[in-house]
Amino acid sequence: MPASNMSDPTLLRGLTQRRFGRRDALRLSGLAGMGAALAACGVQGQGTQAPASAEPDAVAKFWNGKVKNGTLNFAGWPLYMDPKRPELKKFTAKTGIKVNYQEVIQEMGPWFAKVQPQLSAGQSIGYDLMVITNSFQFTQFRDSGFLAPLDHSKLPNYAKNAGEAYKKEAFDPGNAYSIPYASGMTGIAYDESKTGPITGLADLWTNPKLKGKVGMFSDIQELANFGLLKSGVKPADSTEDDWEKAAQELKKQKADGFVRNYYDQSYIEALGSGEVWATQAWSGDIFQKNLSDNTNFKFIIPAEGGTIWTDNFTIPVTAKNPVDAIMAMDFFYEVANASTLAEYINYVCPVPAAQADMRARAAKLSGDDKDALLDVADSKLVYPTAAEYAKLHYYVSFEATSEQQKFQKTFEPIVLG
Amino acid sequence: MSRVRRKIAPYLLVLPGGIWLLIFFAVPMFTMLSLSLQEGDIVTGYRFTGHWQTYTEAISAYQTQLVRSLIYGVIATILLIAIAFPMAYWIAFYGGRRKQTYLFLVLLPFFVSFVLRTISWKQILTDEGPLLQPLRDAGLISQAFHILGTPYAVILGLVYNFLPFMVLPIYVALERIDPRVVEAARDLYANPATTFRRVIFPLALPGVFAGVLMTFIPASSDFVNSEVLGSSDTTMIGQVIQTQFLENSDYPTASALSFVLMAVLLVGVFSYARILGTEDVMKVAAR
């Protein structure tokens, strides 16, 4: 329904009228008790959408009277920090804040579904800091008013050290609610010994060697991005017509027998086991896979373009220790800490100065350790150059949930088969 | 006094189970029924509007997956009977003193997590794995041949994972058969085939019936096997429900689909019971 119709008062009245009518009918039929009881089970939401950028006094309102408590409950993702947690130990030594780091977030959808009821009821979710991706759910978190507005006066290191691209992200204008934890690229990973050179998305659609050996993501947004880029549209600028065209492209790819399957994180094993020879992939994964399993998979940003996404530090609005949380956020923007974190996770580091720090540290090492660290420091996957950034595009951003649902309905049939 | 106590006793006995059912079955079912009739979205909240169209929309959008799940469930159940009956028969009649050991062996794999076992099959069946690669090297199968991602892999996973639930009830039914009944059949000049067909099999039917209930229902609504061993072409209704609940936070559609699946399974099970004449079956079992 176009937005203009929504504001038509007669239509609106008509809708509500009919709705009441139905409920009256229920009452008349003697099912009133049942109906009322059913109605009592509604799922609470926020009722209204919070504005995209925080009210000017919202920051002061949230942060007034909040003090450091010496505890921090941090919700992160698996394999997204050195298991020995050197940065967190350093943080505790420096600030005296004890950190309870839990790898509880594995997918955005389930995470949102899990914490939504508590946040809606204004209860603590048990975490003061969480790392969330700029997906549908980021918008849902923000629009529901579940994220605390950030007090940038408490983030001096972020202001000083964050790369320019990480201070003006479309999904969170002015970084009102989030600052990046790490970024990553979605591109193509392939086994060159089996496929020969691959340059772009066209290979995944037409290269005869890849028939039945292509892996795509089951994540609707990631899948759609490749369809959009293949049809020459930047995801962030796409319209509903573009979605339809992209879905056609993706259906053709499947009908022509190129797609072996649509994968979640398991694409890595599928690539490792030879089930697929070329696949949609996340940059850091491939770097880590090559390092840990001694494989030699290649990762490219497709000639037609790839996407860049960002995982972000955010503070749930019901956090018990928000001051401790924002201190930790800023701590990760000290160059030395950003550098060691990126060294372990191999995703795009939002602090450009960390590259020089890595090189300086590598200079003090020798042998294999030196080479390994220099590999990371020189990796375009961790520190993309301007040429790479030019080929990377942002995700589709949705203005309303209805738009997102439309998007989902357009692409979902491709994955569900 | 004691008479009163004796009167109350049965109710007291049923109380723990009753409360359990009420809290963990009746209440969630009711909540889901309500959810399936609500409208809205996760940000602004869902409100009850009695919007039953969600059911028709959900059925028309996901009928492919629904029908596919039932077909997989039926095929898996038939295969299960074909595999489990001889197994249970052999253990019950020829197991001798080692019966318990054999039953334990049937159960042994189930000390490992369901998901892990399914993933192990993935390792075995994978394109360049221990099964297919030698065959491919020997030129027996083509480069493109694969098992993972096909319905065969999914049904294999279902059969493997639900096998004990078919073996055990059939075994129990066969085990209870009085050997003298079989001897009597022989004495009356029934040959082994006739004895099996007219005596043993009818007596084992309650076990088969229980086994079908315990496998067909979970197999049709399973979402792990297709997720791990299948592909987008084998998506089952359980996966759709899971995605709607956890990925899309579309609670009404997910709840409606759950009810549709439940209704379809109930109808299936009741008509199956009708055809088999369950009442007779249950009478035999109760003896």
- A85-94, A186-195, B35-44, B217-226: segment of lowest average pLDDT: B35-44
pLDDT above 50 (res B270): yes
pLDDT at residue B275, as a whole number: 80
- Whether residue B47 lies within 8 A of chain A, CB to CB, comes out as yes
Domain that holds residue B186: 61-286
Q: What is the pLDDT of residues A281-301, one digit of tens each?
A: 998 888 878 877 888 999 999
Q: Which residue matches tokens 């809205």?
A: B40
Q: In this prediction, does ipTM exceed 0.90?
A: no
Q: Does some domain include residue B28?
A: no
pLDDT at residue A33, as a whole number: 59
Other residues' Cβ atoms within 10 Å of the Cβ of residue A262: 25
| Structural contact between residues A288 and A346, judged by C-beta atoms closer than 8 angstroms | yes
pLDDT at residue A18, as a whole number: 36
Q: Does some domain include residue B248?
A: yes
Q: Does some domain include residue B81?
A: yes
HEC string for A132-185:
EECCHHHHHHHHCCCECCCCHHHCHHHHHHCCHHHHCCCCCHHHCCCEEEEEEE
Contact residues, A window 243-302, toward B, CB-based 8 Å cutoff: 254, 259-262, 273-275
Residue B222: helix, strand or coil by DSSP? coil
pLDDT above 70 (res A208): yes
Q: Does some domain include residue B34?
A: no
Q: What percent of chain A has pLDDT over 70?
A: 88
- Whether residue B279 lies within 8 A of chain A, CB to CB, comes out as no
Q: What is the pLDDT of residues B111-143, one digit of tens each?
A: 899 889 999 999 899 888 899 999 999 989 888
pLDDT at residue B1, as a whole number: 55
Q: Does some domain include residue B17?
A: no
Can you give the residue ranges of every domain in chain A? 59-184+309-378, 185-307+392-416
Asked whether this chain's domains A59-184+309-378 and A185-307+392-416 adopt the same fold, the reply is yes
- A44-53, A347-356, A401-410, B130-139: segment of lowest average pLDDT: A44-53
Task: List phi, psi (to 5°) of A282.
Answer: -100, 135
Select the residue from B115, B229, B247, B250 to test the A interface by mutation, using most A Cβ atoms within 10 A: B247
- Whether residue A45 lies within 8 A of chain B, CB to CB, comes out as yes
Is A110 in Cβ contact with B246 (below 8 Å)?
A: yes
User: How far is B275 from chain A, CA to nearest CA, in Å?
Assistant: 34
What average pLDDT does chain B have? 89
Task: List phi, psi (to 5°) of A348.
Answer: -60, 130
pLDDT at residue A417, as a whole number: 77
pLDDT at residue B279, as a whole number: 60
pLDDT above 90 (res B9): no
Enumerate the residues of chain A whose CB falls inside 8 A of the CB of residue B50: 22-23, 26, 35, 38
pLDDT at residue A292, as a whole number: 78
Report the relative pairing of strands A179-190 and A129-133 from DSSP bridges.
unpaired
Q: How far is CA A250 from the centre of its chain?
A: 22
- Whether residue B116 lies within 8 A of chain A, CB to CB, comes out as no
CATH for the A59-184+309-378 domain, from 3.60.20.10, 3.30.43.10, 3.40.190.10, 3.40.50.1460: 3.40.190.10
Cβ-nearest to A47 among B30, B44, B233 = B44
Residue A264: helix, strand or coil by DSSP? coil
Q: What percent of chain B has pLDDT over 70?
A: 95
Instruction: Give the single-character DSSP code of B82.
Output: H
Other residues' Cβ atoms within 10 Å of the Cβ of residue A43: 21
Joined tokens for residue A371: 């080479």
What average pLDDT does chain A have? 86
CATH label of the domain that carries residue B273: 1.10.3720.10
Q: Does some domain include residue B277?
A: yes
Domain count, chain B: 1
Q: Does some domain include residue B26?
A: no
Q: What is the pLDDT of residues A341-387, one digit of tens each?
A: 999 888 999 999 999 999 999 999 988 889 889 988 998 888 988 88
Measured between alpha carbons, how far is A259 from A250 in angstroms, rounded to an integer? 9
Q: Does some domain include residue B3?
A: no
CATH for the A185-307+392-416 domain, from 3.40.50.720, 3.30.1360.120, 3.40.50.300, 3.40.190.10: 3.40.190.10
pLDDT at residue B46, as a whole number: 87
| Structural contact between residues A406 and A239, judged by C-beta atoms closer than 8 angstroms | no
pLDDT at residue A46, as a whole number: 58
Select the residue from B69, B232, B251 to test the A interface by mutation, using most A Cβ atoms within 10 A: B232
